[in-house]
Structure 1
Amino acid sequence: MGIFKRIKTITTSGINGLLDKTEDPIVMLNEYLREMEQELNKAQSAISKQLFAENKQAALIAETTEYIGQRTRQAALALQKGDEAAAKLAIQEKINLEQQLSLYKQQLDAIKEQTIVLQDKFSELQNTLNELKQKKTVLVSRANVAKNSKQIQNITVSFGADSIFRGVTRMEEKILFLEAEVQVGGNPLNPLNSTDTTVSEEAIADELNKLKGEKDAI
């Protein structure tokens, strides 16, 4: 059992790690807002049903009240005609209707209380949604700034100012070397590049006389 528990823990942590990497804050914020809007729609639908039940109950109370008035008039009319049995029957129905009316009113009070609770919940959800929308605007702005900063950091890490500076220095040295080659190649004092190969007769005679003098001395 210990091994299986460890495997489950490792697997769960791995999945959670992947989820943390794939979660986009902005996407998740939009998802949370959609969920909140869905809850708000559910609350609004519940309020609509509650108000319908409330109106229906109020109509039932009005109808029962009307029936009570009818039975009261029927009982009075039966007594005027001397029909005591009909009067008792009307009074009995009147009493039953009054009992039902009392129950209907209690039910209406309970429905109204539920309506108030739902309306309060709806207002609370609506305020929360508005706050989340405002917070989302701020968080999206912060997320964009953070992403841009991270991209800049990644660029700095990838290339690095030091490597760029070394590259520029290397190119500068190469240019200096090329410039030196140009200067050496164009110097008229370079004997390798001299185009004047003419030797004067006087210089030849001087060298010849030197050689002759050295020979006579020997």
Structure 2
Amino acid sequence: MGIFKRLKTITMAEINGLLDGIEDPIAMLNEYSREMEQEIVKGQKSLARQIFVEKKQAALISETKALVDKRTRQAKLAIEQGDEAMAKLAVQEKLNHDRQLQLYEEQYESIKGQTQILIEKLDELKETYNQMQQKKILLASRANVAQSMKQIQKATVSFQTDDIARGVARAEERILMMEAVVQAGTQFATPLAQFEAANSSFVSDEELNKEIEKLKYEKVAVL
């Protein structure tokens, strides 16, 4: 089991590494922006439908109020005319409209509350989007800097500084050897020159005796 677990871990690590290499942070930020823009569009459409329902409910309330007022006038007119049956019918319809009006007004308040929630949620979404846009600019700048630094690091590594350092050390050793050879040649050249000078000034006994005999002969010849 331990071997299979390690193989799974290694495989997942390789897959995640490939995914990390594929993922472009700037492209990811742009994709998040597009997704949030789509959410804002959806929110705006939902808010538009909600506002339409709210206005429609408000219109229904206005119509019901108008009916209540109308049945009230009819009931009063029937009472004035002594038409009790018509007055009862008008009052009955008025009461029905009153109950409908109360229900419509309660629904309207609920709809208005939902509309307000949608407006607040949409405002929050827009604020989040604006903050993300600002953050995206900063993150894009940071990503560009990081990418540049990564390229510089890759370039530095590709120079293989260790090999260069070893090459410089070898060149330095060769120069030191050349200097040593020159220095050694200078030290050996001086005694040799002195020896040659000493040999050049050396006179053998034979040469000396011949020269003396020659001078004696020249003296006798002069006498």
Q: Is TM > 0.5 for Structure 1 vs Structure 2?
A: yes
| Partner residue in 2 for 1:174 | none
Per the alignment, residue 157 of structure 1 pairs with: 157
What secondary structure is seen at the aligned counterpart in 2 of 1:28? helix
Q: Encode CA deviations 1:186-209: one digit per residue, 9 max, x unaligned.
A: xxxxxxxxxxxxxxxxxxxxxxxx
Cα–Cα, structure 1 residues 9 and 79, in superposed 2: closer, same or farther, change >3 Å? farther
Matched AA of 2:50: Q
1:17-166 correspondence to structure 2 within 5 Å:
17-161=17-161, 163=163
CA spacing shift, 1:102–1:21, aligned 2, 3 Å = same
1:82 alignment partner, SS class: coil
**Which residue type is aligned with residue 115 of structure 1?**
T
Distance between the aligned counterparts of 2:154 and 2:51, measured in 1?
Answer: 58
Task: Tell me whether 49-58 or 6-15 shows the greater mean CA deviation.
Answer: 6-15
**Partner residue, 1:206:** none
SS in 1 for 2:82: coil
Q: 1:207 aligns to what?
A: none
Q: d(CA) in 2 for partners of 1:37 and 1:106? A: 34
Q: CA deviation at 1:17?
A: 3.7
Unaligned runs of 5+ in 2: 172-223
* Shift in alpha-carbon separation, 1:154–1:13, aligned structure 2, 3 A: closer
Q: Map Cα deviations across residues 105-150 of structure 1 (whole Å, 9 max, x no partner).
A: 0001001111111111111111111111111111101111111111
Cα distance in structure 1, aligned partners of 2:7 and 2:101: 65
Change (3 A) 1:7 1:65: farther
Supply the distance in 1 between the matched residues of 2:120 and 2:112 (Cα, whole angstroms).
Answer: 12
Larger Rg: 2
TM-score by length of 2: 0.68
Identity score, percent: 59
How far did residue 10 of structure 1 move? 7.0
Between 11-20 and 95-104, the greater mean CA deviation after superposition:
11-20
Deviation for aligned residue 1:70: 0.6
The 2-side partners of 1:161 and 1:63 are apart by 88
Alpha-carbon distance between aligned partners in 1 of 2:92 and 2:152, rounded to the nearest angstrom: 89
Mapped to 2, the partners of 1:149 and 1:64 lie a distance apart of 72
User: CA–CA distance in 2 between the matches of 1:68 and 1:111?
Assistant: 23
- Shift of the 4–94 alpha-carbon distance from structure 1 to 2, 3 Å rule, reads farther
Q: Which residue of 2 aligns with 1:192?
A: none
- When the two structures are aligned, how many residues end up with a matched partner? 172
Using a 3 Å threshold, how does the CA distance of structure 1 residues 11 and 81 change in structure 2: closer, same or farther? farther
Query: 1:23: Cα distance to partner?
Result: 0.7
Distance 2:4 2:151 in 1: 41
Query: Displacement of 1:164 after TM fit?
Result: 5.2
